[in-house]
Structure formats: C-alpha cells, structure tokens
Amino acid sequence: MDAMGIDYIPSRSIIKQYNSAILSRIDRNGGILKLSEKFNIPMGSRVHWHKTSNEEIEEKIKEMISNKNMDKFPSRKEIIDYFGNSSIACIISRRGGFKFWSNKIGYEMKESETKTGWIGEGIAKELLENHGYLVEKMNTNCAYDFLVNGNIRIDIKFSRLFDNGNMKYYSFNLEQKFHDCDIYILICEDENKNIKVIVIPQSFVQNQGQIGVGEFKSKWYKYIDKYDFIDMYSNFYNKINKNKGE
C-alpha cells in the first residue's frame, strides 16, 4: 500500500491496473478480504449507486476537495485513488458526467480532463460528418454523446497510448456493464498522434465495463472503421419509423 500512497486495500480493478501480478498472488492466497483480515488493513469502502443520493455524492466530493486542498474538480483517477474504488466516479458518470458535477459543485474541471473528452468528441464528430451522417451533440445530462441521423445513440471513448512498463495499450472505461447507447466509437491515439477508430455495437460489449486494446494486436481491430454498423442501425430505425402512427 505504501507504494500506492494509500492506507487501505483498494479495489480489484485498481490493483489490476497497478500490477496484475500482485492481484493474481492475492487471489491465490485467499483473496482481498482474507488479506484485509490477516494484516488488519481496511478495505476501501464501496458506494452503491442505487442507494446513494446526489446530496451524499456532493458531500463526499466536497469533503475530498477540502481534505486535499484542491482548487479544481478532481479527475476520475483522483477520485478512485482517494476513495479506493470506482463507485463514486461511476455514479458521477451515470448522473450527468464530470462536467455536469463540476458545474454543480462550483469547481472548474482540470484542463487536461476537459480537453481529453473534447478531443475525442471533436475527432468523432468530424469523422462522422465526413461520412455523411447528421450529428447532434447531446447535453451533459445525457448518457451518450451524439444522436446520429436522428435516431442512433453513439457514445465516444478516447484513449491515448498507455505504457505499464511491460506493454503498451489503450484503455476505455465504459462506466457500467449495461449501456445506454447503440454504438461505441473508440478512438485510439498513439504517441505520434495517429488514430485508429473502432466502431462497436454496444451489444458486443454487454456485461463489460472496460475495454483494453493492445498497441498492435487486438480482437477489436477487426472493427476499425466499421461505419457500416451505423448504416445497419440507421436502416433498422428507418424501417421502424415507417410504421409510426399506423
């Protein structure tokens, strides 16, 4: 825990991101709960999104900002590191997103956090419009980023290349395992600003909250530039809408 700068046992996802080999050793020796009991180290408390009010979330974030003397709204990573799990970060994403909550609480988002989201959306919007699609940007309260051709709900995820010392990869957090969009567009940007655009129907990633994509090899690369998925959805909605009012 000292290496991570915390005094509790973080969630499985945090340990895996830090060092997957450590998580494997923990599992072989009885799991996180047994480790907590054996060494008397508390586990990071989890927050159940369906039982937690917006007022409670606001109070927790304000407490974090005060305790850490922050002058900006915390990033997703900072929230996860502070609370020891991704529960509160996921609630924020589900209930309006980080920009909405930063405005609600009255703290500006960090420039890097804001830019990352906007970069991904900007790239995707230009690509979609260049392919002839009509793109409408949704507001911050919406669970997806774009409404395309008046019907298709598309959520944009952007990742730069990560390097954990052993391999390089892209990582996309889908926030939850059951999704509100029709299609995900994953934008991978490498160190030279080259991009790969992966188009995936949300049904392909049901029950997944995270997508990892290797630098050179990944099962997801067969969906690069698969804009025909959008056409399939568009045709489907057009057929459905023809029956409207009949």
C-alpha span between 229 and 133 (Å, rounded): 13
pLDDT one-digit tens code per residue, 77-125? 788 777 777 778 778 877 777 778 888 899 887 655 555 667 788 889 9
At 5 the pLDDT is 47
Give me the sign of the Cα torsion angle 43, 30, 19, 195. negative
Indicate the pLDDT class of residue 19, thresholds 50, 70 and 90. low
Domains along the chain with CATH numbers: 1-44 (no CATH), 50-106 (no CATH), 112-242 (3.40.1350.10)
Query: Are the CB atoms for 124 and 156 separated by under 8 Å?
Result: yes
Does pLDDT of 3 surpass 70?
no
C-alpha span between 155 and 134 (Å, rounded): 15
Query: Considering the chain, what percentage of its residues have pLDDT values greater than 90?
Result: 28
CB burial string 70-81: b at 16+ within 10 A, e below: eeebbbbebbbb
- Tally of CA atoms within 13 A in the half-sphere of 206 that contains its CB: 3
At a CB cut-off of 8 Å and minimum separation 6, what does 225 contact? 197, 199
pLDDT one-digit tens code per residue, 165-217? 778 889 888 877 778 899 999 999 988 889 999 999 999 998 888 888 998 89
Which residue is associated with the tokens 């045709």?
Answer: 235
C-alpha span between 136 and 113 (Å, rounded): 22
Give me the sign of the Cα torsion angle 117, 177, 155, 59. negative
